[in-house]
Structure 1
Amino acid sequence: MILCTSLLLALVGTSSAFVSQSQATTRARSQCTSLQANIAVFGASGLTASECVYQALKDGDNVVGLTRNPSNLKVPKGSGGADAENPLVDEKLTLIGGDVTKMSDVEKAVFENDIDGVIVALGGKTSDVGDTMLTDGTNNIIAAMKDKGVKRLCVVTSIGAGDSKDQAPFAFKLLMMTVMKKIFTDKNNQEKAVEESGLEYCIVRPGGLTVDAPTGVINVIDGEAGSIPRADVAQFCLGAVKDPDFAYINKAPCISSVGGTSWVKDRSKAARGEM
């Protein structure tokens, strides 16, 4: 497994007239050696997962990606610069077309490769993927990891999931209880499966996601989270599976790059990198 040294700088929490509670924040950065890691990324063509794939490849890692739609894997807009939106191909990338709810497909990613760590960044509308895809798929991944002896797992969920409900702003809480109720039921069950897995896990709960360029600033927030580029989320996830001394193992941190101010979910096409 690759060896990394995390430099964690504690910052003083802030408060405002709108957010009465103080916020303990941490700026996390990782400096890694040139040693190689083998990483499996599930949901590889998604906006956050593709950042994980791209950045890992840039670090010299070998990556195995599983996605329902391999042709959708593109160089991400956040980190990709002038190459953004081009097909993402690399000699160190093995891309598998498959369904995470099918154990045989999951095993192709884990069993047929010498995997050091796993990143799960699954997505999709429940109307397209079903009400329990996150939980069922993650349970398959956990079982395959245990059979193969892979211990390090990072799972991307969302602010508001699990015990972070009070960290979500009021407007987002309303969405969680209405139009997003099914997906948050699935996310909560997914988190529970991870917490009970016995693996070395990190559940990552990002604030409002954007496709902006990486800031290199990752704040671990105790209060309401601000926004964060998917590129910064990916950096945090890679640290979680590559750094043997990662500070948030067996924890579920909420992260943002922009302060700790309240945010409202941006559902615009721009937030998804679409015109």
Structure 2
Amino acid sequence: MKLIQSASLLFALFASSSTAFPTAFRPTRSNTQLDMANIAVFGASGLTAAECVYQALENGDTVVGLTRNPSKLKIPKGSGGAKADQSISNPNLTVIGGDVTNKADVDKVFAAQKIDGVVVALGGKTSDVGDTMLTDGTKNVIAAMKENGVKRLAVVTSIGAGDSENQAPFMFKILMKTVMSKIFKDKNEQEKVVKASGLEYCIVRPGGLTVDPPTGVINVIEGEAGSIARADVAQFCLDAISVPDFPYIGKAPCISSVGGTSWVKDRSSKARGEAMQ
């Protein structure tokens, strides 16, 4: 894994008037990976989690996914191309229907395979899943990891969570403190649980999420972040649990593919991969 900074990247940063120079992170699969093949994905039918599932399978890994809605796990739009929205059929995939806040359901994942690394990419409205689902579910995952000797963990939260509040654009900060206050309270508590876990964790804080094809460019941002494809977030997560010398273990990087100072979260149906009505 190499950190790449180029003249063209710096030029783009000057042109966009970004407040900080991001580090361009271009992950690749290589022989330096951990000797692993079995990955657990929690929240598997979500848009970002499905990217993790699909990409891991395409890489030849075995995946065990937990989701409340197994029928909603589809080939993602970003990486799936013409196959997008089809059911994922792969002998290396095990999908378990269950609730991450139920420890017994979480334990089923680790009973299905010897797990080598875990991605937590949970989502949902607090009105549907409860005010503390992220924190409670992550606690269960961490407990199960320790019981089964699993160390590597990637957890997807958001720009603005934890100590990155000042990295969120102004309009998004308003949302964080109003209509999204409950979910951000849960995300902040979730991050605290992860940081106190003693595991080899990476908390991944993406900027504005899209369902575009992967770009292969992931910028670790010190200032305000721009947008990023869910497919690129998934690649970052998979590297976090598979690359031995991954540079962001024990850290919580904010990532985007586009640096900028005027990003506003796209809450449209298009950004969520939903058909326009």
User: Normalised by the size of structure 1, how large is the TM-score?
Assistant: 0.94
Which 5+ residue runs of structure 2 have no aligned equivalent?
none
2:4 pairs, out of 5, 9, 30, with: 9
Q: Distance in 2 between matches of 1:273 and 1:88?
A: 17
Deviations 1:164-190 (A, max 9, x none): 000000000000000000000000000
- In the alignment of these two chains, the number of paired residues is 269
2:27 matched residue in structure 1: 29
Q: Distance in 2 between matches of 1:60 and 1:112?
A: 18
Correspondence list, 1:86-235, <5 A: 86-235=86-235
Structure 2 CA distance for partners of 1:15 and 1:164, relative to 1, 3 Å: farther
User: Normalised by the size of structure 2, how large is the TM-score?
Assistant: 0.93
Deviations 1:251-275 (A, max 9, x none): 0000001123431011110111112
Q: Distance in 2 between matches of 1:65 and 1:269?
A: 25
Which 5+ residue runs of structure 1 have no aligned equivalent?
1-5
Does structure 2 retain, via aligned residues, the 8 Å contact 1:100–1:140?
Answer: yes
Structure 2 CA distance for partners of 1:269 and 1:39, relative to 1, 3 Å: same
What amino acid maps onto 2:204 in structure 1?
Answer: V
Q: Distance in 1 between matches of 2:141 and 2:103?
A: 8
Does structure 2 retain, via aligned residues, the 8 Å contact 1:36–1:62?
Answer: no
Does structure 2 retain, via aligned residues, the 8 Å contact 1:48–1:233?
Answer: yes
Deviations 1:151-173 (A, max 9, x none): 00000000000000000000000
Q: Distance in 2 between matches of 1:61 and 1:111?
A: 17
1:46 matched residue in structure 2: 46
What amino acid maps onto 1:174 in structure 2?
Answer: I
Does structure 2 retain, via aligned residues, the 8 Å contact 1:36–1:60?
Answer: no
Secondary structure of residue in 2 paired with 1:32 = coil
What amino acid maps onto 1:153 in structure 2?
Answer: L
Identical pairs, percent = 69
Secondary structure of residue in 1 paired with 2:28 = strand
What amino acid maps onto 2:184 in structure 1?
Answer: F
Q: Distance in 2 between matches of 1:168 and 1:16?
A: 20
Deviations 1:5-28 (A, max 9, x none): x12213566357865x33232223
2:67 matched residue in structure 1: 67
Q: RMSD over aligned Cα, in angstroms?
A: 1.6
Query: Per-residue deviation at 1:113?
Result: 1.5
1:251 matched residue in structure 2: 251
Q: Distance in 2 between matches of 1:91 and 1:7?
A: 33
1:84 matched residue in structure 2: 84
Secondary structure of residue in 1 paired with 2:154 = strand
Secondary structure of residue in 1 paired with 2:262 = coil
Structure 2 CA distance for partners of 1:248 and 1:100, relative to 1, 3 Å: same
What amino acid maps onto 1:25 in structure 2?
Answer: T
Q: Distance in 2 between matches of 1:203 and 1:22?
A: 20
Secondary structure of residue in 1 paired with 2:2 = strand
Q: Distance in 1 between matches of 2:134 and 2:209?
A: 19
What amino acid maps onto 1:59 in structure 2?
Answer: N
